[in-house]
Amino acid sequence: MTVLVALGQAVLLAVLAPYVLGLTRAVRARLEGRAGRRLGQPWRDLRKLLRKPPTSPSDASLFFVAAPPVLLATSLLVAVAAPFVATTSLAGEADLIVVVGLLLLGAVALALAGLDTGTAFGGMGASREMTIAALVEPTLLLSVFALSVRVGSTDLAAIVTAGATDPASVFTPASALAAAALAIATLAECGRVPVDNPSTHLELTMVHEAMVLEYSGRDLALVEWASALRLTILLGLLANLFAPWGVATHLTPVALAIGTAAFIAKVGGLAALLAAGEVLAAKLRLFRVPELLAGSFALALLAVLAAAVLG
């Protein structure tokens, strides 16, 4: 049963992810006074791309071909293991370090693929992505550590369960600091404004997009899908770690239904908030990005200290 729930959760996230992306675009368009595209447009794009055979650069090797499946597989693994709808799924497997490691594995696979293309843009994107990742991953780890101090475990399911059963314990100064740090890390990890601009066509300013410029057809579909999935995963973690209400802590149909609805509502809300934030924000100069990320790291560090000292 737990396996079924875990797989069901992964399917839910995989289906939901393009809609989350569509929602951020739609909200942004509306707030800017544009009509925008439909919520399902990312799915239509994926369907179109999945029907097209991919091309690969003549200089590219196995890394280039392997990166999209690796990226998608690591994202799906996180979607299976981490507590999004229910905390009971695969308890003990969803360790914080495993989750961050899986996300990093995907990012590194893509960066290697960017280098593998042998083009200036691929290398440029990979170099920028790794600069950012080197600052983001420690922040991801530390900000969740702040929460695990309270629970005494790095198991994400245990942290979420503790929050869901005792909601008052979530509202601590440490949590607030950690939430801020994780939110900034999420923006950077998913290539959103102010760190990266997902909608730009200017190759020289790109970070994430520069690495995937050479992908086409099915490969591009996998990369896009995985990117949407990573956004959904991080928003979902953010939601469940700091607002763990509604998460199913036992496996009854009603609890699961509530868990699913709560998850969709929370992720949708965060996605809309993200889009609204993007409308108000502008992209930072590349050399200012490390300052922002260093700031988020400092917040995460303070969160850990606060959690350790204040309890």
Partner 1 sequence: MTERATVDVNSADELRERTARLLGDGFRLALVAAHHDALRVGDAAHLGDDAQIRIVYLFTAGPPDRRLELVWRTDAPHPTVPSIAALSFPGSRFEREMHDLYGVRPDGHPMLRPLVHHPHWPDGWYPMRRDAGPRPPLQAHRPFPFLTVAGDGVYEIPVGPVHAGLIEPGHFRFSVVGETILRLKARLWYVHKGIEKLAEGRTVLENLPLAERVSGDTAIGHALAYCLAVEDALGLEVGEDVAAVRSVLLELERLHNHVADIGAICNDVAFGIAHAHTQRIRESLLRLNKAVTGHRLLRGGVVPGGAQIATGPDLRTVATAARDLAEVVAYALDHSVVRERLTGTAVLTADQARDTGALGYVARASGLAYDARVAHPFLASGPEVTVVTRDTGDVLARFLVRADEAQHSAALVQALAPALPTGRIGVTDAGPTGGATRSGVGIVEGWRGTIVHRVEIGPDGRLRRWKIVDPSFLTWPALPLAMADTIVPDFPLANKSFNLSYAGNDL
| Interaction of residue 35 with partner 1, rule CB under 8 A | no
CA dihedral 74, 80, 86, 89 (to 10 degrees): -120
| Interaction of residue 34 with partner 1, rule CB under 8 A | yes
Q: How far is the CB of 286 from partner 1 (least distance, A)?
A: 5
Q: How far is the CB of 238 from partner 1 (least distance, A)?
A: 22
Q: Give whole-number Cα distances, 165 to 170, 192, 263, in Å.
A: 10, 33, 16
Q: Which residue lies nearer to partner 1 by CB, 4 or 34?
A: 34
SS3 assignment, position 215: coil
SS3 assignment, position 40: coil
| Interaction of residue 31 with partner 1, rule CB under 8 A | yes
Q: Which residue lies nearer to partner 1 by CB, 59 or 166?
A: 59
Which of these segments, 12-20, 78-86, 117-125, 265-273, binds partner 1 (CB under 8 A)?
117-125
Q: How far is the CB of 143 from partner 1 (least distance, A)?
A: 23
Tell me which DSSP letter residue 85 carries. S
Residues 6+ apart with CB under 8 A from 141: 96, 97, 100
SS3 assignment, position 41: helix
Q: Which residue lies nearer to partner 1 by CB, 12 or 284?
A: 284
SS3 assignment, position 86: strand
Q: How far is the CB of 31 from partner 1 (least distance, A)?
A: 7
Residues 6+ apart with CB under 8 A from 90: 2, 3, 6, 80, 81, 157
Residues 167-226 that bind partner 1 (CB under 8 A): 193-194, 197, 199-205, 213
The type of residue at 238 is L
| Interaction of residue 250 with partner 1, rule CB under 8 A | no
Q: Which residue lies nearer to partner 1 by CB, 176 or 213?
A: 213
Q: Which residue lies nearer to partner 1 by CB, 42 or 122?
A: 122
Concatenated DSSP letters of 261-280: HHHHHHHHHHHHHHHHHHHH
Q: Which residues are near partner 1 by CB under 8 A?
A: 28, 31-34, 120-121, 123-124, 193-194, 197, 199-205, 213, 278-288
